Amino acid sequence: MKKMDLQSAWAVAAKDFKIFKRKSTVIYLSTVYPLAVGIAFPLIVQYALHIGKGHGITALTLPRFMDAFSIWFLIGAAVFPTAIASYSLVGEKIQKSLEPLLATPMTDGEILLGKTISGLVVPLGAIYAGSVIYMSLMDLVTQSTLGYLYYPNWHIGAILLVAPFICLVSVELNIIISSRLNDVRTAQQAGMLAAFPFFGIYIASEIGLFALNDTNLLILAGVILAIAVVLFFVSRVTFQREEILTKWK
C-alpha cells in the first residue's frame, strides 16, 4: 500500500483554503460565533457585576460561572467546523470536481486527510482566538472582584486541549455525513448532530452528574481522540471511488 503523502494532503487543504477565502459565508459561519462568544460572556459578567449590581454573583461564585462559560468552547468545537467541513466535500460534489481529483495518483486517505485539515484549521484557529479574547476580557472585568487574574488556568487549558479532538470528531462526522448528501445546508444541519453529545456532557456537568474537572477533561480528550481515529478509518471505508462515481448524485 502506498505511504500517505502529506504534501498531497496539504495541497488539497491549501486549495480548500483558497476556495474558502472566496466563500465568505463559509468563513463567517466558522469564525464569527467563537469570536462572539469570546466577547459576549465577559460582557454578561461585566453587566452582572458592575451594572446589574452583582445579581447574586460574588467573588466566591464567579469562578464557577466562568468555568461553565468556558465549556461553550467545547460545544463550539463540535459546532463550528460543520460549515466548512460540510462545504468542503459537498462543494466538490456540486462542482463535480471529484472525478478528475480521483484520477490523480492521490490515495483516498490523502484526499480525506486534506479535507480533515481544511475543516479543522479555520474553526480551531477561531476557537483559540475567541478563547484568548474571552480570557483577556474576562480577566479585565473580574480582576477587581476576584483580586487576581483568573485566566489562564488549568481548566481552560484542559478545555483548549480537548477542543482540537472534538473539532476532529466533528470534521470526520461531517465528512461521513456529507458524503451521503448533496446539499450543503442539509449537510450542515445534519452535521450539527455532532454537538449533541457535548451538550449532554455540559448539561450533565451542570446538574452534577458529571464533574468537568481537569482530570475528567483529560480522560475525555483521550476518549475523543480514539473516536476521531476510528471515524477517520470509517470515513476512509465510506469514501469509495467506485461508489462516489457511480452512486453519488
**Closest CB 180 distance from other proteins, rounded Å:** 19
**Closest CB 245 distance from other proteins, rounded Å:** 6
Decide if 150 contacts 63 (C-beta within 8 A): yes
Residues 6+ apart with CB under 8 A from 12: 106, 110, 111, 113, 114, 115, 117, 118
Closer CB to other proteins, 32 or 245, in the complex:
245
Q: Show the cell assigned to 200.
A: 449532554
**Closest CB 12 distance from other proteins, rounded Å:** 8
Q: How far is CA 231 from the centre of its chain?
A: 15
**Residues interacting with other proteins, by CB under 8 A?**
1-2, 7-8, 11, 15, 18-19, 22-23, 95-107, 241-242, 245-246
Closer CB to other proteins, 22 or 53, in the complex:
22
**Closest CB 169 distance from other proteins, rounded Å:** 28
3-class SS shares of the chain: helix, strand, coil, % to 5: 80, 0, 20
Q: How far is CA 162 from the centre of its chain?
A: 10
Whole-angstrom distance, CA of residue 104 vs CA of residue 110: 11
Closer CB to other proteins, 55 or 96, in the complex:
96
* Cα atoms found within 13 Å of the Cα of residue 60, Cβ hemisphere only: 1
Closer CB to other proteins, 216 or 240, in the complex:
240
**Closest CB 123 distance from other proteins, rounded Å:** 20
Closer CB to other proteins, 20 or 150, in the complex:
20
